[in-house]
Amino acid sequence: MRALAMLLILLTACARTPQPVVAVSPTPEPGLLEVTAFLDLSGDRAPRGDAQRNALTLWNDLSQARGRGPVRTKVTVVDVGGSDARLLIELRRAAVEARADAVIIGVPVSFATPGFAEAVQAAGLPLLMTMPVDEPVAERGGRWAFGVAPTPDQIARKVVVITESSLDTIVITAATRPADAEADAILREWRRATRTFPQELRLDRREDSLQAAVRLAGVPAVSGTGRRVHLAGPPRQWGALGSALKQGGRGATYVLSYLTEHTDLGEFRDGIDAIWPAPLHLTLASIPPNQAASARRQFVQSYTDRHGAPTGHAVAAFDAMSILVLAAERAGTDDRERLREQLELTTLAGIATTYAFSVTRHSGHSGEDIALYRWSGTAPALDTRR
């Protein structure tokens, strides 16, 4: 009888539905701010990702040199390789599995990117964006997103004023790419300022198309101040056009994108009058030698010693960490909602500009500290000709 009872218990246990194994998220460590940075470290966008990774490493080194503060930091860098789909997958992983306290997104993305707004909303953790993006606060999930780089509209206001007439302006975009945010902002700024649109030219990579752009760029300006040609997207995208321009389009000034990296200027380094918008404080010559500017000078000198002249993307990544740590010192590191609320109350004099966030403003860049640069032959230099 006892043997029969034991057999029944054994059969019942074997028939019981297996229980799912639940992955337990790690418990947040008090006083530790865990940040995940999504960067492009492979593919065509790698120069921008490398610059930001270098800046994050420098931030950590300078922080350690200053001594331990109330908040310790841990930064995990993830290569998303230019893939929007991978970015969305890794964002969920950072929120659910890695239990990050905040995220830095250092790749071009917007709330119009399919699935991005929903992913940000579902993640529910503070997210700092170091590439130009429109004011996020009104977007779905935008209450969690904060813009560190200037907005496309702020960039457009800087580059439009250097030309007197829209008749002297051409905006060139790639026909095979989606609409470029900077190019759209430039067109909007012309419409706002003069109620006219400059000519927009969408090019493919064919030789006849490139030669047509060169001929158009060579048309004499109406105002006498020179023709301006805005190229949407990074210079690497326009290598073939740059080669053609060196042969026949030198009379114009080419205004490159804020996405410009020194390493991908290519043909626009020499023989072509090319300028691009970037943060004002990228060279020691642009920073006054006073006590108030000492942090900026230290960053520029340290970064230059290690990697060469910094770029706007490197500065944005460095400032993003400073912003997060300042907010975490007030909010603590174990509550994402409190950290988000403190970010909305944060004002910080960073390397690029003085950032100011609020409940209704999540694009913190002032927009005043944008300058035009050109290649001096060995390094970027402020363009003081205009």
List Cβ neighbours of 137 (8 Å cut-off, separation of 6 or more).
143, 359, 360, 361, 362, 363
Beta-sheet pairing, 370-375 with 380-382: antiparallel
Local confidence band at 293 (pLDDT 50, 70, 90 cut-offs):
very high
Q: Which helix (H) or strand (E) holds 146?
A: strand 145-147
Mean pLDDT of the chain: 86
Distance of alpha carbon 73 from alpha carbon 110, whole angstroms: 27
The total of structural domains in the chain comes to 2
Q: What's the domain range around 67?
A: 32-150+291-367
* Model confidence band, residue 198 (pLDDT cutoffs 50, 70, 90): confident
Q: What pLDDT does 213 receive?
A: 78
What's the distance, CA 73 to chain centroid?
21
Assign residue 326 the CATH number of its domain.
Answer: 3.40.50.2300
Beta bridge partners of 105: 38, 129
Q: Over 70: is that where the pLDDT of 82 sits? A: yes
CA-to-CA distance for 178 and 199, rounded, in angstroms?
A: 18
- Residue 16 to residues 3, 9, 220, 240, Cα–Cα distance (Å): 20, 11, 84, 67
Which of 257, 283, 311 is the endpoint of a domain? 257
Phi, psi of 213 (to 5 degrees): -65, -40
Q: Do 119 and 159 reside in the same domain of the chain? A: no
C-alpha 281: how far from chain center: 17
**Are 123 and 163 in the same domain?**
no
Q: What is the arithmetic mean of pLDDT over 238-251?
A: 77
- Evaluate if residue 16 carries a pLDDT over 60: no
Is the domain of 146 the same as that of 160?
no
Q: What angle, 0 to 180 degrees and rounded to 10, lies between the N-to-C axes of helices 84-96 and 116-123? A: 10
Report the C-alpha gap between 65 and 203 in whole angstroms: 50
Residue 6: pLDDT band by 50, 70, 90 thresholds? very low
Q: Look up the CATH number of the domain holding residue 181.
A: 3.40.50.2020
Which residue would you say has higher pLDDT here, 250 or 378? 378
**Spatial separation of the C-alpha atoms in residues 239 and 186, rounded to whole Å:** 22
- What are 111-153's pLDDT values in tens digits? 999 999 999 999 999 999 999 999 999 999 999 999 999 999 9
Residue spans of beta strands (DSSP E) within 163-318: 169-174, 199-203, 228-231, 253-255, 274-279
More confident residue, 215 or 330: 330
| pLDDT of 179 | 73
Sorting pLDDT into bands at 50, 70 and 90, what band is 205? low
> What would the pLDDT profile of 325-361 be if each residue is shown by its tens digit?
999 999 987 799 999 999 999 999 999 999 999 999 9
For residues 195 and 235, state if they share a domain.
yes
Report the distance separating Cα 341 and Cα 333, nearest Å. 12
Same domain, 180 and 215: yes
How confident is the model at residue 15, as a pLDDT?
A: 40
| Residue 386 maps to a domain | no
Would you say residue 25 lies in a domain?
no
- What is the mean predicted confidence (pLDDT) over 275-298? 92
Question: What does the pLDDT read at residue 23?
Answer: 37
Whether the pLDDT of residue 4 is over 60: the answer is: no
135, burial (CB in 10 Å: exposed 0-12, middle 13-18, buried 19+) = middle
CB contact at 8 A, 177 and 207: no
* pLDDT tens digit sequence for 157-173: 999 887 777 888 889 88
- Determine the distance from the C-alpha atom of residue 109 to the mean position of all C-alpha atoms in its chain, rounded to a whole number: 9
Residues 140 and 206 in one domain: no
Residue 156 has pLDDT above 60, yes or no: yes
Verify that 113 and 160 share a domain, yes or no: no
Average pLDDT over residues 81-106: 95
Q: Is residue 198 part of a domain?
A: yes
The pLDDT of residue 7? 41
Q: Are residues 158 and 210 in the same domain?
A: yes
For residue 322, which of 148, 121, 97 has the smallest C-alpha distance?
A: 148
- How much of the chain exceeds pLDDT 70, in percent? 87
What local confidence, expressed as pLDDT, does residue 212 receive?
74
